[in-house]
Structure 1
Amino acid sequence: MVTEQPGNPLWHPFADMGAVDGDRMVITRGEGSYVWDDQGTRYFDATASLWYANFGHGREEITQAVSEQLRKLDSYNLFGYYANEPALRLAERVSALAPTPGSKVFFGSGGADVIDTAAKVARAHFFHTGRPEKVHLIGRTQGYHGTHGFGTAVGGIAANAVGFGPLPGPVSHVPYDSAEELEAEIVGVGADKVAAFFCEPVIGAGGVLLPPDGYIEAVAEICRRHDVLFVADCVIAGFGRLGTWFGIDRWPVQPDMITVAKGITGGTIPLGALIVAPRVAEPFFTGKPGAPILRHGATYAGHPVACAAGNATLDLYERDGLIPRGRELEKPLADALAGLAGHPLVGEVRAGLGFLAAVDLAPEVFAANAGAVGLWQRAAREEGLLMRPLAKGLAMSPPLIAGDTELDLLATGLPRSLDRLAKTLA
């Protein structure tokens, strides 16, 4: 058991440290769809940690792959002409799964890394094809693309950009659910100035917002017509969350770039990958003397141990048939949550596309208590459910190995947590 001491110097992301200090929840172990705290209490990990533990926790296959790689080659960089076997193999496998044959794969340490890479690659592509003025980036309201420089700027959650001064630009945002507004923005800025449009297939941290019917196909066509690169941010959507390898491949589109992370190792070791269509990467792969070099990269890009974990993860997905689970479980999850729509504290339930969902509290709940989401998260924890707080409610994205038992926990535990919340607010 870990004894928590007030004043511990650990600084948590996205946390009110005054409230956290002395009130940390220390997770000590995980197995399958469950984790345990330092008091020995078991919880259903209903968000797969931070949207990433797609095959659950404690998989011996990953431990073995990492251990073997550490003994063989613990680390080495990919800069210049260096390479390592796990990175080469993982790049080949990811490229072979991509919607566009012949795609290139650029590794980073996580999703935010490869979002920034995508922004720079988009601009560099146009620079080296004679259109250096195409630098403008477009994001969507409520979009989330990590917290690095470009990701913060392109992201559409306004609170995440407050207090940091000037961010990379030029950047603009369009409503998340309107293809027409995207085209109007491209025309207004000037297609000759716009480099890329960033789009999550299903918006995750911004509220689990599902795209309207036909939206993905429409924005892909608009980008193609105006020669704007379509960047599909599949950091959350990928590796089975929507029932396909990358999430975006659930629609008949071919993005110019795809960002993935999280599920590529099931969160066991930080790793991200940018998948780049051949036409975008072509200026850097001519093989001609003096060809441009992408002067960008992370120290741990293609780390052999992380890539060994990635290869073992892909093996797990294939062996256990986990990738289709996101589609197979989307209706059972929606059914498990359907009863919540009638609860007096609930404003909206969003589910039905992939194995993720969100439940918003009603506006009058916030009028009564601005901290209602945090109180509800704590009430859910008391019911044995670990949930992800959003601006208006709670999100869930369980491990793909979850089944009827875990869905029953949500169907019974969430109403009880709302009843607990009602008593707190009374």
Structure 2
Amino acid sequence: MNTVARGPEFMVARAEGVWLWDASGDRYLDGTASLWYCNVGHGRTEIADAVHRQISTLDAYTVYGDFSNGPAVELSERLAAHAPVADPRVILTSGGGEAIETAAKLARRYWAVTGQPGRTHLISRTGGYHGLHGFGTSISGMDRFRHGYGRVVEDTSVVPHDSAAALEAEILRVGPERVAAYFAEPVIGSGGVYPPREDYFTEVARICRKYGVLFVVDSVICGFARLGNWFGIERFGVSPDMVVFAKGVSSGYLPLGGIVVGGRVADPFYNGEGNAFMHGTTYAGHPTACAAAMANLDILEREDLFTVSLEVERHLDVALQGLASHPLVAEVRSGVGVMGAVELTEEALSGRGITTAEVFAEARARGVIVRAIPTSLLVSPPLVITWEQIDHLVSTLSAALDAVAARH
């Protein structure tokens, strides 16, 4: 709000492919796929046509109780067919934040209906981002998103993102009989693009099984070909109890998210008398949003963006690593998924008073949108970006770094 109060807003007027235009007609490369979500690129008429057809037939209706609709069922079946969980069921929501709320409540409720109501503790990891609803705020791995609100949700803790041993130690500290679930992104996204260490998730899955802790994967950023597969976590060869998804499932054309729930967690609610899961959201299973998602998934499969994204990943990695020798750059993190982070040096940030917001502004002034977090610049372009456009993105970011360095 303070940013808007200081000056005019940046008005996005239209978009096509990897490009945006502002209200003045100036063009910008969308180096972040908006907020990590526009995987198939902007302006896909196939999705617009699918939305028009559906909204003209059945715009929206609740899926509470035994109500349902064709697009919601078809989408759920399609997602379940590709999900890396055993005996999958799908709960749909309006987005990732709602899906995290649902997964956290379901984890606690599962233990309550299976005779262990004391298992309410939720563990997450540093740098992790899980939306900013109540549970998401409470399990955030970034202090700046939690401070100033008091204790939103009790019984949560955070462990170092790169240590499976730290997770096991925390389970033992809290007491396995009190731990409900562990939440982790396949690759930490908004917290700075941190790929997992080798065998990290293999160890995490083993530890969760050992102590009976539910393993919940937050694939909101990593899913739908950004890591070259459907949900991101497949790349690491493990099968979680729940997978949370959103963003790329519809490429953001309409708001949609959800959870794929394994049979272990779902069965007590399907087969146990009186085990109601008293939870729901108004727009869950929204038929028009589901139609948009189905058209989006058609594009992902028809254009084989699952394979294409691996090629984009390699080219983006090579291009970004060229910035590693820049005097302002401490580290470049890339090479796992179509995403990357350019970390500034402590000397630049503290010694010279440079901010990532300055670099962001310089890049935007040159026609490229990146994302600034406190110490890094993040990129996560649409999967349809070309090699030439990647090189333009990175060379513009380099020029922005040069301009800020010269000013300081």
Displacement of 1:291 after TM fit?
A: 3.4
**Match in the other structure for 1:9:** none
Unaligned residue ranges in structure 1 (runs of 5+): 1-15
Displacement of 1:369 after TM fit?
A: 5.3
Displacement of 1:125 after TM fit?
A: 0.7
**Match in the other structure for 1:137:** 122
Contact 2:250–2:296 (8 Å) recurs in 1: yes
**Match in the other structure for 1:72:** 57
Moved more, 17-26 or 195-204: 17-26
Residues of 1 paired with 2:354 and 2:59: CA distance? Answer: 45
**Match in the other structure for 2:321:** 338
Q: Give the alignment of 1:357-376 within 5 angstroms.
A: 357-368=340-351, 370=353, 372-376=355-359
Cα pair distance change 1:284/1:370, threshold 3 Å = farther
Displacement of 1:324 after TM fit?
A: 2.5
2:74 counterpart of 1:114: no
2:22 counterpart of 1:34: no
Residues of 2 paired with 1:411 and 1:374: CA distance? Answer: 17
Secondary structure of the 1:329 match is helix
**Match in the other structure for 2:74:** 89
Residues of 1 paired with 2:170 and 2:308: CA distance? Answer: 37
Residues of 2 paired with 1:81 and 1:409: CA distance? Answer: 51
Displacement of 1:19 after TM fit?
A: 4.9
Displacement of 1:65 after TM fit?
A: 0.5
Residues of 1 paired with 2:299 and 2:254: CA distance? Answer: 15
Residues of 1 paired with 2:98 and 2:309: CA distance? Answer: 25
Contact 1:96–1:102 (8 Å) recurs in 2: no
Secondary structure of the 1:208 match is coil
Residues of 2 paired with 1:369 and 1:313: CA distance? Answer: 45
**Match in the other structure for 1:204:** 189
Q: Please list the CA deviations of residues 339-372 of structure 1 after superposition, one character each: whole Å capped at 9, or x if unmatched.
A: 2111111111000101100001111111245561
Displacement of 1:273 after TM fit?
A: 1.0
Q: Percent identity?
A: 47
Displacement of 1:328 after TM fit?
A: 2.2
The RMSD of aligned alpha carbons is 1.2
**Match in the other structure for 2:164:** 179
2:231 counterpart of 1:238: no
Contact 2:86–2:239 (8 Å) recurs in 1: no
Q: Give the alignment of 1:11-410 within 5 angstroms.
A: 16-286=1-271, 290-368=273-351, 370=353, 372-410=355-393
Residue type of the alignment partner of 1:323:
F
Residues of 2 paired with 1:330 and 1:86: CA distance? Answer: 32
Residue type of the alignment partner of 1:340:
L
Contact 1:336–1:410 (8 Å) recurs in 2: no
Residue type of the alignment partner of 1:303:
H
Unaligned residue ranges in structure 2 (runs of 5+): none
Residue type of the alignment partner of 1:339:
G
- TM-score (norm. length: structure 2): 0.98
Residues of 1 paired with 2:4 and 2:354: CA distance? Answer: 12
Residues of 2 paired with 1:304 and 1:133: CA distance? Answer: 38
Secondary structure of the 2:180 match is strand
Residue type of the alignment partner of 2:235:
R
Secondary structure of the 2:278 match is coil
Contact 1:330–1:352 (8 Å) recurs in 2: yes
Secondary structure of the 1:156 match is coil
Contact 1:74–1:304 (8 Å) recurs in 2: yes
Residues of 2 paired with 1:122 and 1:301: CA distance? Answer: 19
Secondary structure of the 1:184 match is helix
Moved more, 32-41 or 100-109: 100-109
Secondary structure of the 2:324 match is helix
**Match in the other structure for 2:396:** 413
Contact 1:208–1:357 (8 Å) recurs in 2: yes
Secondary structure of the 1:342 match is coil
Displacement of 1:415 after TM fit?
A: 1.3
Displacement of 1:17 after TM fit?
A: 2.2
Residues of 2 paired with 1:231 and 1:215: CA distance? Answer: 15
Residues of 2 paired with 1:159 and 1:240: CA distance? Answer: 30
Secondary structure of the 1:119 match is helix
Residues of 1 paired with 2:407 and 2:49: CA distance? Answer: 46
Residue type of the alignment partner of 1:412:
S
Q: Please list the CA deviations of residues 39-66 of structure 1 after superposition, one character each: whole Å capped at 9, or x if unmatched.
A: 1111110100000000000000110010
Contact 1:149–1:167 (8 Å) recurs in 2: yes
**Match in the other structure for 1:7:** none
Contact 1:139–1:173 (8 Å) recurs in 2: yes
Contact 1:283–1:291 (8 Å) recurs in 2: no
Residues of 2 paired with 1:79 and 1:243: CA distance? Answer: 34
Contact 1:264–1:313 (8 Å) recurs in 2: yes
Residues of 1 paired with 2:136 and 2:394: CA distance? Answer: 35
Contact 2:138–2:151 (8 Å) recurs in 1: no
Contact 2:355–2:374 (8 Å) recurs in 1: no
Residue type of the alignment partner of 2:200:
Y
Displacement of 1:101 after TM fit?
A: 4.2
Contact 2:354–2:404 (8 Å) recurs in 1: no
Residues of 1 paired with 2:132 and 2:5: CA distance? Answer: 21
Residue type of the alignment partner of 2:376:
G
Residues of 1 paired with 2:261 and 2:5: CA distance? Answer: 40
Number of positions where the alignment pairs a residue of Structure 1 with one of Structure 2: 408
